[in-house]
Amino acid sequence: MAGQRRVDDVLWVLRNVRHCAPDPSLRSAAGLARALGVHRAQIGRWESGEVRLTQRHASAYEEVLALPPGSLGAAMEMLRRDVVPTGIDAALAPMEPVPRDDLVDRALAHIEHLLASEPSRAADWWDLADLLCREALVVLRDRDWRDLLDRAFGELEVSYGVAYVQRSMAVARLVGHPRAGAALVDLARSALSDTTRHVYSDYAAALQYVPGPEPVRLLVEQVLSPVGEAPLWASLFVLTTCFRHGRGDGEQRELVARQCYDYVVDTTLSYRVRRCAAVLCATVDPRQAESIAAYVGQLPGGRGVAEVLRFGAVLPSRQRRSLYAACSEAVRRAGLPADDPVFVRLLGRGLWDADSDLRGSALACLMLAPQGTPIGRVVADTLLSAVRGGQLPLAGECLTVLFWICPREALDPLLGLSTDPSTPPDLRHNVMRAAVSAPVGGDRAAYRRTVVAAVERAYADRPGDREAASAACYALGVRGFREDLLDLRDVAVRDGATGWRAECDSWLAVPAHWYPADG
């Protein structure tokens, strides 16, 4: 059953983009076949799984349907990894056969390029994974694996859209290599012990793709003896994924379940930690979820956690129905399909699933799908209405969606919200971070002016606020506006704003060549 669902989900990606083709003549199998120069029956074979799909097939779809290169393979791999998380192979077979004599040379050339001080593309990482999955004779020193993965995670921090998902899935494949997996466990152990790092969550998330007992052992250690709330949160949601896939022994599950119960009832912890602990409790022992929910619901701030335990959802049923209906209607008004079972499941999961990992993969796939744009517009409007109406939990969940699917036209209103003194401070900071996930589009200069103006307002209003500094410098740093970071740092030094100066320094320390050549 799981295997069939994986096939159906992966193949939905191809069917969906055909049904969403801007040119109606390409939406039928016959019309697309004519454009591709193949027999109509060939489309059916590809989209039914009768024929093993290759990257060449996906590239043909992307070219004819004017889709970003690599977007279909990235979405298909994301869906595949929800069911089969480990392994270096991909949903799509490599583009073309490579003579074995050339494999090692080409792999080493890719590695040399990726270890050099020059920008890379997501396709470079994907090609390396393709080469390594076909040739086991490529041997790297542990230090080289660590340097390679460190760079990959650094690039993930400053990547968006297709470039982010394709890199993320290339990393998922690479750490399936035994030597790479061992290097990642060491890197993740260090990252999860250092709460000052920007990318500890990416290191933790990648552990789910490493086979063997060591990743689970490390995550269990982090859950039982955390060094801080942020690493604890990351370890909880990744360990949930590992347990969901049947990893971990009975003793580990029992110890973790007992500890997570303590986290769930600890009202001094943040909501996101308690929520992730609740999901893990329900994953390990779903029979106890209702009794725990009954108790937690009586605690201060426990209602949302109880909803998670009972329904696995982060929104009450009325809000779930309303938001889902609005998004579905927007998709239909855009002339796009909204009733395919795979899309229905992805939309519901992306809007409200309490499992952070499942929700993230669903949102990544929706971001890459044509339906993502109308969904993002609805969620952005819902966020603005929720803030005006004081519905802060709903606003927070909208932000989670917008981190993945933020339309370009939402940039100005979201940045305005982020500098509005009436917006609650915690929400204000996250709104600014979500706003800059909006695509840059064709006018980078206008985008930059808009972001810089918002950062200047934030500094003028809150020069002593370290959280405001963190969000503002993130907005500049993640988009590579280094000259503006330097200008802001000079102002912070002049004014003695030490928090702002420290945040500027942190982003200025990111190597310039980590910023991807493809966004």
**The domain spanning residue 31 has which CATH number?**
1.10.260
Do 372 and 268 share a domain, yes or no?
Answer: no
In a domain? residue 242: yes
Structure confidence at residue 24 as a pLDDT band (50, 70, 90)? very high
In this structure, are 287 and 324 located in the same domain?
Answer: no
Specify whether 204 is located in the same domain as 257.
yes
Least confident range from 105-109, 185-189, 238-242, 458-462: namely 105-109
How many other β-carbons are positioned within 10 Å of the β-carbon of residue 424?
13
Distance separating alpha carbons of residues 493 and 159, to the nearest angstrom? 29
pLDDT > 60? residue 1: no
| Nearest-angstrom CA–CA distance, 109 and 115 | 10
| Alpha-carbon distance values, 90 to 10, 204, 206, 208 (Å) | 11, 21, 16, 16
Domain end point (choices 244, 277, 311): 311
Q: Tell me what pLDDT residue 94 has.
A: 85
Locate all alpha helices (DSSP H) within 285-340, ordered by sequence: 289-296, 303-311, 317-333
Taken in order 440, 443, 448, 450, is the CA torsion positive or negative?
A: negative
519 domain residue, yes or no: no
Mean confidence (pLDDT) of the chain = 92
Write the CATH number for 306.
1.25.10
Distance between CA atoms of residues 358 and 276, nearest Å: 12
Q: 142 and 51, same structural domain? A: no
Structure tokens that stand for 198 in this block: 């920007």
Q: What is the C-alpha to C-alpha distance for residues 458 and 417, in angstroms, rounded to an integer?
A: 11
Show the tokens assigned to 122: 């997501």
Encode burial over 261-277: b for 16+ CB neighbours within 10 A, e otherwise: bebbbeeebebbbbbbb
Number of independent structural domains in the chain: 3
* DSSP states of 18-86: HHT-SSGGGSSHHHHHHHHTS-HHHHHHHHHTSS--BHHHHHHHHHHTTPPTTHHHHHHHHHHHTT---
pLDDT of residue 456 exceeding 80: yes
- Whole-angstrom Cα distance, residue 275 to residue 240? 12
Domain closes at, from 367, 401, 435: 401
Answer positive or negative: Cα dihedral of 381, 383, 386, 388. negative
Residue 135 has a pLDDT of 62
Number of H helices, E strands in the chain: 28, 0
Q: Express each pLDDT in 41-55 by its tens digit.
A: 999 999 998 988 899
Q: Of 87-91, 256-260, 287-291, where does the model show the most confidence? A: 256-260
Residue holding tokens 């609805």? 378
pTM, whole model, 2 decimals? 0.94
Burial of 118 (0-12, 13-18, 19+ CB in 10 A): exposed
The token duo for 318 is: 């009325």
| pLDDT on residue 103 | 81
Q: Is a pLDDT exceeding 90 seen at residue 97?
A: no
Region 261-270: mean pLDDT is 94
pLDDT at 79 over 80: yes
The verdict on 64 and 104 lying in the same domain is: no
pLDDT digits (tens, 9 = 90+) for 337-379: 999 999 999 999 999 999 999 999 999 999 999 999 999 999 9
Cβ burial of 147 (10 Å; 0-12, 13-18, 19+) is middle
Q: Could you tell me if 59 and 39 lie in one domain?
A: yes
Q: What is the pLDDT of residue 198?
A: 54
- pLDDT tens string 385-422: 999 999 999 999 999 999 999 999 999 999 999 999 99
Domain boundary among 261, 291, 311: 311
pLDDT of residue 150: 92
231 & 135 share domain: yes
CA distances from 13 to 285, 361, 371 (A): 33, 14, 12
- In percent, how much of the chain has pLDDT > 70? 97
The distance from CA 309 to its chain's CA centroid, rounded to whole angstroms, is: 24
pLDDT-based confidence at residue 243 (cuts at 50, 70, 90): very high
Angle 165-170-173 from CA coordinates, rounded to 5°: 130
pLDDT at 266 > cutoff 80:
yes
| CB neighbour list of residue 134: distance below 8 Å, 6 or more residues apart | 94, 98, 103
Q: Is the pLDDT of residue 115 over 90?
A: yes
Instruction: Look at residues 166, 159, 74, 172 and name the one whose alpha carbon lies nearest to residue 124.
Output: 166
Question: How far is the C-alpha of 443 from the C-alpha of 433, rounded, in Å?
Answer: 20
Domain span at residue 341 reads: 315-401
Q: How much is the average pLDDT of 220-240?
A: 94
Q: Are residues 263 and 152 in the same domain?
A: yes
* Residue 238: inside a domain: yes
Is 115 inside a domain boundary? Answer: yes
Whether 507 is covered by a domain: the verdict is no
Asked if residue 248 belongs to a domain, the reply is yes
Q: What angle do CA 513, 518, 205 make, to 5 degrees?
A: 80
Q: List 353's β-bridge partners, or say none.
A: 313
Which long-range contacts does 277-280 make (Cβ < 8 Å, 24+ apart)? 277/236, 278/305, 278/308, 278/309, 278/354, 279/236, 279/237, 279/240, 279/308, 279/312, 279/354, 279/355, 279/356, 280/223, 280/236, 280/239, 280/240, 280/243, 280/256
Q: Does one domain contain both 249 and 363? A: no
Q: Give the relative orientation of helices 214-224 and 178-192 as an angle to the nearest 10 degrees.
A: 10
419 assigned to some structural domain: no
For residue 318, the tally of other CB atoms under 10 A from its CB is 8
Q: Would 116 be classed as within a structural domain?
A: yes
| CB-based contact 196:205 (threshold 8 Å) | no
Same domain, 221 and 307: yes
Instruction: Say whether both 277 and 139 belong to one domain.
Output: yes
pLDDT above 60 for 21:
yes
pLDDT on residue 320:
96
Residue 95's pLDDT band (boundaries 50, 70, 90)?
confident
Indicate if 126 and 232 belong to the same structural domain: yes
Task: Give the chain's end-to-end CA distance (angstroms, integer).
Answer: 38
pLDDT band at 140 (very low <50, low <70, confident <90, very high): confident
Q: Which two tokens stand for residue 325?
A: 């209906």
Is the pLDDT at 200 greater than 70, yes or no?
A: no
Q: Please tell me what DSSP assigns to residue 212.
A: S
